[in-house]
């Protein structure tokens, strides 16, 4: 049974098809014509993109910003009453840019249909009057285009409508909302090119949740808020809270966190908030010193409700940017200056919720948790006819996790890795320079892993790596062709997110330097036996250390390989580059 909608929101939903009939039929979506039981295929996006541009020739442009692996165009609508239809014009005139993105997970397609509806209403003055006079609004109806065309009725089995929808991942099976920093997918590289060119002040990523059944119908998360520049965190909080307030005034039940329980299917376990790492859209915008908003309608609400909620969110953000965008844009420019001065300062690489908990009244339904005779597990069953207020713990005090000091000057990427690393840096617009002459012996900081852990299963085609270790002063010979990546640039946080090996989405964490943490050379046991005896005879202190280790470490004493390795690691034959992260930090820029 579908829960009863609150009166204000119900009125908005019922108004949508009526509004559609008052518009030129060429601008109405298949979703509107079907009463929001269905959504259109991608050829509709192509048609509507052109139709909007034709109907509003002085106000809308239809552009293609990329091509998918299966050859489909990636469409963008540019809408404004400022006349600034290029990124250069918008930047030169200081006009805020807002980017609305639908269909990164193409089964969660609320944003496509809501975006066309909201854009048409804004252009016709029915919503956010005057908002386009003070911003450029970019609308990407579907980011994951190939996934959108993998159409089926059960692609989102825990989602109520539309009747058929697209697929979560791309044709290459990438989850684009894990790809912002590593940028493997061609679609992501196209999107990052768009972001780099237009530099949107606010980037709104439109989704629908997974999860349990409850009354709350939409969640709004924004960064910077828990992390990033301190001034922007204040504005991020204002953006989130103002959006939530407008949604609540329209009859919604919004939340300021993703409604996923600590124990997935147990509401009593409560909520643990956090700050998204830069693999996700809002976390990525944070390290660019811009605002990222994650919008998650609740998958158990019917499609018309979800479209209405998403439409209202788009309108709210457009109004807020129109009202505050100029001041927020100034604040981000100032944040860029502060970011370029991060050298030597402590910078959080990730964030975590503390153990501090509060309780909140969460609008849920009566439920039971009983053993299943099918799976044998405890199963939660919800009764949507019986609303119930749950008192649940919420841990939403989020603090920095791992913190490191930014290097004094920047990072040195060795020539052996310069080609592929430079391509990643280019995608993000990171500044760097290639060293034409070999600087020779360089005083640097090197990271040597003391502990490594390779993920047992691949993720997004990568074998992820976790390393523990420290940076320490060393001297290294650096060849010509190495890259110097300065920390003194607006994207300094993004640089650290990419190149600090312990950052959660660094190139190292995604396994792109795994070769350097794999042992490739060995000493045969019969050779190691002879070498060990020679070393014991020549070094009494070493002999005493070895014997103490045998007495105090039972596992070591029982492990023949570990005992021989004890000597091999102290011998000149040992590979001193094993577990050495090849990227260096420097406090003085090379010439």
Return all residues near 323 (Cβ < 8 A) that are at least 6 apart: none
pLDDT in tens, 34-43: 999 999 999 9
pLDDT band at 4 (very low <50, low <70, confident <90, very high): very low
pLDDT at 394 > cutoff 50: yes
Please tell me the least confidently modeled range out of 96-105, 132-141, 567-576.
Answer: 567-576
CA 462 to chain CA centroid, Å, is 17
Cβ-in-10-Å burial (0-12, 13-18, 19+) of 510 comes to buried
pLDDT in tens, 322-376: 999 999 999 999 999 999 999 999 999 999 999 999 999 999 999 999 999 999 9
The distance between the two most distant Cα atoms of the chain, rounded to a whole number of Å, is 95
- Across the chain, mean pLDDT equals 95
Strand (E) positions, 180-290? 202-208, 218-223, 254-255, 271-272
pLDDT in tens, 219-235: 999 999 999 999 999 99
Label the pairing between strands 440-454 and 465-478: antiparallel
Instruction: Check residue 26 and give its pLDDT.
Output: 87
Count of alpha carbons within 13 angstroms of residue 576, beta-carbon side: 7
Residue 495: φ, ψ to 5°: -60, -45
Whose structure tokens read 């070094």? 539
pLDDT band at 1 (very low <50, low <70, confident <90, very high): very low
pLDDT at 446 > cutoff 60: yes
Tell me how far CA of residue 40 lies from CA of 43, 116, 207, 308, 576, in angstroms.
8, 12, 17, 17, 59
pLDDT in tens, 113-135: 999 999 999 999 999 999 999 99
pLDDT in tens, 447-504: 999 999 999 999 999 999 999 999 999 999 999 999 999 999 999 999 999 999 999 9
Strand partners, 387: 365
pLDDT at 21 > cutoff 60: no
pLDDT at 18 > cutoff 60: no
Count of alpha carbons within 13 angstroms of residue 169, beta-carbon side: 11
pLDDT at 24 > cutoff 90: no
- Cα 250 to Cα 272: distance, rounded to the nearest angstrom: 27
- Name the residue with higher pLDDT: 587 or 14: 587
Tell me how far CA of residue 571 lies from CA of 267, 529, 531, 536, 539, in angstroms.
57, 12, 8, 12, 12
Cβ-in-10-Å burial (0-12, 13-18, 19+) of 50 comes to middle
The CATH architecture to which 7-340 belongs is 3-Layer(aba) Sandwich (3.40)
Cβ-in-10-Å burial (0-12, 13-18, 19+) of 307 comes to buried
pLDDT at 380 > cutoff 50: yes
| Tokens coding 225 | 């808020």
Return all residues near 327 (Cβ < 8 A) that are at least 6 apart: none
Q: DSSP label at 505?
A: T
Cβ-in-10-Å burial (0-12, 13-18, 19+) of 456 comes to exposed
Where are the domains positioned within the chain?
Answer: 7-340, 358-400, 405-519+578-586, 525-568
- Cα 514 to Cα 517: distance, rounded to the nearest angstrom: 5
Other Cβ atoms less than 10 A from the Cβ of 531: the count is: 17
Instruction: Check residue 211 and give its pLDDT.
Output: 80
Closest CA relative to residue 364, chosen from 331, 338, 386: 386
CB 402, CB 275: distance < 8 Å: no
Instruction: Check residue 443 and give its pLDDT.
Output: 97
Tell me how far CA of residue 277 lies from CA of 16, 220, 274, 405, 414, in angstroms.
36, 16, 9, 18, 26
Q: What percent of the chain has pLDDT over 70?
A: 96
Residue 550: φ, ψ to 5°: -65, -40
Mean of pLDDT values over 99-104: 98
b/e burial code for range 350-386 (CB count within 10 A of at least 16 → b): bbbbeeebeebebebbebeeeeeeeeeeeebebebee
CA 86 to chain CA centroid, Å, is 26
- Cα 469 to Cα 479: distance, rounded to the nearest angstrom: 25
- Name the residue with higher pLDDT: 575 or 110: 110
Mean of pLDDT values over 178-200: 98
CA 347 to chain CA centroid, Å, is 18
Mean of pLDDT values over 44-70: 98
CB 224, CB 233: distance < 8 Å: yes
Mean of pLDDT values over 70-94: 98
Instruction: Check residue 267 and give its pLDDT.
Output: 95
b/e burial code for range 155-176 (CB count within 10 A of at least 16 → b): bbeebebbebbbbbbbbeebbb
pLDDT at 19 > cutoff 50: no
CB 304, CB 380: distance < 8 Å: no
Instruction: Check residue 3 and give its pLDDT.
Output: 42
Instruction: Check residue 14 and give its pLDDT.
Output: 45
Alpha helix (H) residue ranges in 352-511? 415-428, 492-499
CB 306, CB 298: distance < 8 Å: yes
- Cα 380 to Cα 368: distance, rounded to the nearest angstrom: 6
Mean of pLDDT values over 168-193: 98
Instruction: Check residue 2 and give its pLDDT.
Output: 42
Other Cβ atoms less than 10 A from the Cβ of 398: the count is: 18
| Tokens coding 547 | 């014997």
- Cα 577 to Cα 414: distance, rounded to the nearest angstrom: 13
Closest CA relative to residue 430, chosen from 264, 284, 542, 230: 284
pLDDT at 8 > cutoff 70: no
pLDDT at 13 > cutoff 70: no
- Cα 512 to Cα 506: distance, rounded to the nearest angstrom: 9
Label the pairing between strands 97-101 and 202-208: parallel
pLDDT at 103 > cutoff 50: yes
Instruction: Check residue 16 and give its pLDDT.
Output: 52
Mean of pLDDT values over 247-270: 95
Q: Is 145 helix (H, G, I), strand (E, B) or coil?
A: helix
pLDDT in tens, 502-522: 999 999 999 999 999 999 999
């Amino acid at each position: 049974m579908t829960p009863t909608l609150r009166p204000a929101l119900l009125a908005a939903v019922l108004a949508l098809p009526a509004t559609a009939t008052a518009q030129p039929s060429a601008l109405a979506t298949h979703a509107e014509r079907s009463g929001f039981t269905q959504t259109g295929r991608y050829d509709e996006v192509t048609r509507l993109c052109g139709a909007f541009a034709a109907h509003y020739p002085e106000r809308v442009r239809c552009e293609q910003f990329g091509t998918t692996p299966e050859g489909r165009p990636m469409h963008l609508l540019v809408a404004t009453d400022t006349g600034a239809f290029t990124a250069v014009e918008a930047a030169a005139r200081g006009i805020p840019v807002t980017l609305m993105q639908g269909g990164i997970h193409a089964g969660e397609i609320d944003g496509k249909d809501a975006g066309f509806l909201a854009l048409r209403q804004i252009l016709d003055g029915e919503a956010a009057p005057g908002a386009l006079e003070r911003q450029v609004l970019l609308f990407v109806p579907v980011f994951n285009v190939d996934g959108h065309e993998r159409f089926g009725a059960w692609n989102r089995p825990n989602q109520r409508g539309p009747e058929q929808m697209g697929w979560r991942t791309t044709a290459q099976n990438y989850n684009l909302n894990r790809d912002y920093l590593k940028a493997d997918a061609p679609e992501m590289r196209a999107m990052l090119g768009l972001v780099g060119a237009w530099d949107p002040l606010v980037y709104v990523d439109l989704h629908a949740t997974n999860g349990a059944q409850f009354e709350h119908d939409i969640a709004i998360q924004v960064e910077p808020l828990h992390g990033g520049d301190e001034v922007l965190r204040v504005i991020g909080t204002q953006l989130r809270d103002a959006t939530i307030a407008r949604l609540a005034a329209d009859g919604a039940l919004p939340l300021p966190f993703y409604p996923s329980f600590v124990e997935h299917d147990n509401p009593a376990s409560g909520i643990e908030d956090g700050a998204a790492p830069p693999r996700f859209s809002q976390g990525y915008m944070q390290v660019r010193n811009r605002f990222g908003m994650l919008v998650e309608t609740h998958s158990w609400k019917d499609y018309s409700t979800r479209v209405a909620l998403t439409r209202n969110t788009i309108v709210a953000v457009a109004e807020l940017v129109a009202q505050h965008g100029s001041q927020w844009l100034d604040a981000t420019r100032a944040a860029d200056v502060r970011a370029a001065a991060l050298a030597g300062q402590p910078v959080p690489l990730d964030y975590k919720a503390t153990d501090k908990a509060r309780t909140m009244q969460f609008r849920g339904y009566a439920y039971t948790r009983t053993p299943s005779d099918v799976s044998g597990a405890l199963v939660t069953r919800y009764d949507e006819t019986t609303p119930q207020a749950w008192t649940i713990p919420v841990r939403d005090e989020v603090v920095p996790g791992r913190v490191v000091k930014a290097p004094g000057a920047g990072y040195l990427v060795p020539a052996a890795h310069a080609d592929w690393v430079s391509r990643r840096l280019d995608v993000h617009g990171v500044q760097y320079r290639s060293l034409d002459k070999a600087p020779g012996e360089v005083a640097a900081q090197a990271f040597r892993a003391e502990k490594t852990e390779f993920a047992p299963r691949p993720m997004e085609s990568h074998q992820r790596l976790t390393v523990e270790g420290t940076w320490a002063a060393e001297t290294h010979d650096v060849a010509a062709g190495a890259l110097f990546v300065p920390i003194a640039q607006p994207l300094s946080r993004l640089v650290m997110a990419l190149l600090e090996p312990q950052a959660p989405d660094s190139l190292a964490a995604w396994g792109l330097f795994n070769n350097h943490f794999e042992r490739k050379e060995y000493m045969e046991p019969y050779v190691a036996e002879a070498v060990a005896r020679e070393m014991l005879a020549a070094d009494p202190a070493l002999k005493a250390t070895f014997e103490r280790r045998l007495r105090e470490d039972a596992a070591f004493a029982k492990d023949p390989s570990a005992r021989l390795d004890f000597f091999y690691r102290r011998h000149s034959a040992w590979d001193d580059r094993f577990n050495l992260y090849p990227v260096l930090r420097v406090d003085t820029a090379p010439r």
